[in-house]
Structure 1
Amino acid sequence: MIDQSIHPNTRVLLDAWRRMQADPKGHGASGPRVAGNEELIERIFVLELMQDRTWLVRSAGSRLDALIGRRLVNHNFLDLWSGPDRTMTGAFLEAVRLDGGPGVVRGVGETLNGQRAEIEITLMPLDAGAAQAPRTRMLGLYQPLGSEAALAGQPLFRHRVSMIVPPDTRRAGPKLRLVASR
């Protein structure tokens, strides 16, 4: 995943996720810590894939609930989206689940009175160490990119996708190179 233009909170969470993948027991990890970022913790959520193919929100931070205007636990994450945006987001979730790497959705959240806020939603699989097993849980971060004060306390009701950055699971390895000489 290309992460040059992501929000600093997203970078902290991605770095923590990469450390978890490299060392699942967490011994000797260094770098920025999620625990030191209270505003980040309040925007984290966990999704679980159910047998009926819905992605239920299993836990959500208080700030995320406030931004959406309702308690998200036990609601289908895809219900935040409609039409083609719902289809694209569903395909994105499948890509993260199957590829086992993090991905980002950029979009716009809109209030009922038409105020808009750019958002960045990062998702990463939680089933560490299960390379061949189907992943069923994801850690997510719902991060507004602008000032939340512009929303005047109104919840984000409608979500629209503007960009999807799928997982980049290319493996670095030997490359074939053809050299011709006379």
Structure 2
Amino acid sequence: MVDRTIHPNTRVLLDAWRRLNAAPGAGAGKTPQVNDHPELVERLFVIQQMRDNAWLFRNAGEAVTGLLGRQLTNHNFLDLWTGPDRKMMGAFLEAIRLDGAPGVVRGRGETMTGQRVELEVSLMPLAHAAERPGAYRLLGLYQALGGEPMLKGRPVWRHRISMLVPPDTRSEGPQLKLVASNG
């Protein structure tokens, strides 16, 4: 995934995910600690895929519930999106599940009275979730990209997708080099 333009919190979480999912012995550096990034914890959430293809919130941090203006546990993540955006989001979640790699959504949230905020939602598979049928979970980061004061305390109600950055599953394997000799 090309991550030059993502929010710094998203970068931190993606880097942590990569380190935690690296092959044994391949991870360099220390294991991420919650104390290193306390502002991230309140923006995290976990969703779980159900048999009917709903993605239920299992938990959500205070900043997420504050921006959305409600408790989210057992609510369908896909209900945040409507029409074509809901279909795109469903397919996007399926791509993350199948590829086993993170993806990022850029979009905007809107209140019932029309105030808007730009958003970035990062989603990444949780380790070992695929091993338990019916328990596939994704870790998410719901990040406003500035403009939260413009909401004037009103909750985000509608979500629209501007850009999807799908999982990058390119493998870094041996490279083939062609050498020609004219002699």
Name the TM-score, length of structure 2 as normaliser. Answer: 0.88
Alpha-carbon deviations, 1:98-121, whole Å to 9, x = none?
101111000000001111000000
- CA 1:32–1:127: 2 relative to 1, 3 Å: closer
**Which residue of the partner structure matches residue 161 of structure 1?**
161
Give the share of equivalent positions with the same residue, in percent. Answer: 61
**Structure 1 residues 60-75: aligned runs within 5 Å:** 60-75=60-75
Q: Which secondary structure does the structure 1 equivalent of 2:58 belong to? A: strand
- Using the TM superposition, give the Cα deviation of residue 173 of structure 1 relative to its aligned residue in structure 2, in angstroms: 1.5
Question: How many equivalent pairs are there?
Answer: 179
**Which residue of the partner structure matches residue 170 of structure 2?**
170
CA distance in 2, matches of 1:143, 1:124: 14
- CA 1:73–1:41: 2 relative to 1, 3 Å: same
Q: Which secondary structure does the structure 1 equivalent of 2:11 belong to? A: helix
- CA 1:125–1:109: 2 relative to 1, 3 Å: same
1:17 and 2:17 matched: yes
**Structure 1 residues 139-158: aligned runs within 5 Å:** 139-158=139-158
- Using the TM superposition, give the Cα deviation of residue 95 of structure 1 relative to its aligned residue in structure 2, in angstroms: 0.7
CA distance in 1, matches of 2:118, 2:34: 22
Alpha-carbon deviations, 1:125-177, whole Å to 9, x = none?
0034969x898110000000013111100000000000000000110113444
- CA 1:129–1:69: 2 relative to 1, 3 Å: closer
**Which residue of the partner structure matches residue 95 of structure 1?**
95
CA distance in 2, matches of 1:112, 1:177: 57
**Structure 1 residues 122-133: aligned runs within 5 Å:** 122-128=122-128
Q: In structure 1, list runs of 5 or more residues that go unmatched.
A: none
- CA 1:129–1:140: 2 relative to 1, 3 Å: closer
After superposition, the CA RMSD in angstroms is 2.4
**Contact map agreement 2:19 2:28 (CA 8 A) in 1:** no
- CA 1:31–1:5: 2 relative to 1, 3 Å: farther
**Contact map agreement 2:47 2:137 (CA 8 A) in 1:** yes
CA distance in 1, matches of 2:124, 2:135: 10
CA distance in 1, matches of 2:34, 2:98: 25
Name the TM-score, length of structure 1 as normaliser. Answer: 0.89
CA distance in 1, matches of 2:165, 2:115: 25
Q: Which secondary structure does the structure 2 equivalent of 1:22 belong to? A: coil
**Which residue of the partner structure matches residue 42 of structure 2?**
42
- Using the TM superposition, give the Cα deviation of residue 22 of structure 1 relative to its aligned residue in structure 2, in angstroms: 2.2
**Contact map agreement 2:21 2:127 (CA 8 A) in 1:** no
**Contact map agreement 1:10 1:122 (CA 8 A) in 2:** yes
CA distance in 1, matches of 2:50, 2:66: 25
